[in-house]
Amino acid sequence: MVEEANSMDKGINCSEEAEVRKGPWTMEEDLILINYIANHGEGVWNNLARSAGLNRTGKSCRLRWLNYLRPDVRRGNITPEEQLLIMELHARWGNRWSKIARQLPGRTDNEIKNYWRTRIQKKVKHGESSDYQHAMLIDEASTTTSQTNSVEDGGAQPSYTQQRETNPVALAPPFSTESCDNFWSVEDFWSMQSFNGD
């Protein structure tokens, strides 16, 4: 599925595709990036992308790393405490997502932004009020029902990335690099840091 999306880009032509890739990251790319940063550290992203042999922009690498691959990225449901904090901070600072994210260790600005837009903002609007507490109460109720159902019970088969979020540990063995069933977890990787030898 991830590969499918990429294959859409491949429709352009091979040489162009070799220039710069877009769209969902594959497991191979993730591994390359993680390995490279584990060995060399973060650096100038454009150089990093080139040196690592990733046909991606530095920007794309940075985003992928910061939002997804970093070992300290915390995934999974936003807790009620975090939710309350997000609401308070948003009330104070507005859409300063990165600033808000800094107050929530392990959470990314992208995640908070998405969370706000999909869960909170909608409810605030729906309630025809900017009453955050009210929105929160509504949301708390829903997080214990519908949201929990969709995320934790994981209705249908989750995608490569989604599976990693919901149940990162109990996944199929990582690093089976040949299929598009890229079910593995970053946590797996970081727990196997000896993988790359140095």
Q: Is 62 in the site for DNA (CB under 7 A)?
A: yes
In the bound complex, what is the minimum distance in angstroms from residue 176's beta carbon to DNA? 18
Options 51, 130, 133, 146; binder of DNA; rule CB under 7 A: 146
**159 binding DNA? (CB under 7 A):** yes
Select from 129-137, 153-161, 169-177, 188-196 the region that touches DNA (CB under 7 A).
153-161
Q: How far is the CB of 94 from DNA (least distance, A)?
A: 8
Q: Which of 119, 124, 184, 185 binds DNA (CB under 7 A)?
A: 119
| 150 near DNA, judged by CB under 7 A | yes
Q: How far is it, in rounded angstroms, from Cα 115 to Cα 79?
A: 12
Residue 117 as a binder of DNA (CB under 7 A): the answer is yes
**CA dihedral angle for residue 44, residue 45, residue 47, residue 52, rounded to 10 degrees:** 130
Provide the minimum distance between the beta carbon of 49 and DNA in the complex, in angstroms, as a whole number: 9
Does the protein bind DNA through residue 64 (CB under 7 A)?
A: yes
Which tokens is 34 given?
């993680």
- Tell which residue, 160, 154, 153, has the closest CA to residue 181: 160
In the bound state with DNA, the residue whose beta carbon lies nearer, of 11 and 197, is 11
Using rule CB under 7 A, residue 137 touches DNA: no
**Tokens in use for 132?**
């955050």
Best CA proximity match to 191, nearest among 167, 174, 172, 166: 174
Rg over CA atoms, the chain: 19
Q: What is the DSSP letter of 189?
A: H
Residue type, 87: M
Q: Tell me which residue of 20, 19, 23, 16 sits closest to 2, measured CA to CA.
A: 23
Q: How many CB atoms lie within 10 A of CB 40?
A: 12
Q: Which of 27, 36, 52, 68 binds DNA (CB under 7 A)?
A: 68
Contact residues for DNA, defined by CB under 7 A: 1, 4-5, 8, 21-25, 43-47, 56, 58-60, 62-64, 67-68, 75, 95-99, 109-111, 113-115, 117-119, 122, 146-147, 149-151, 154-159, 161-162, 165
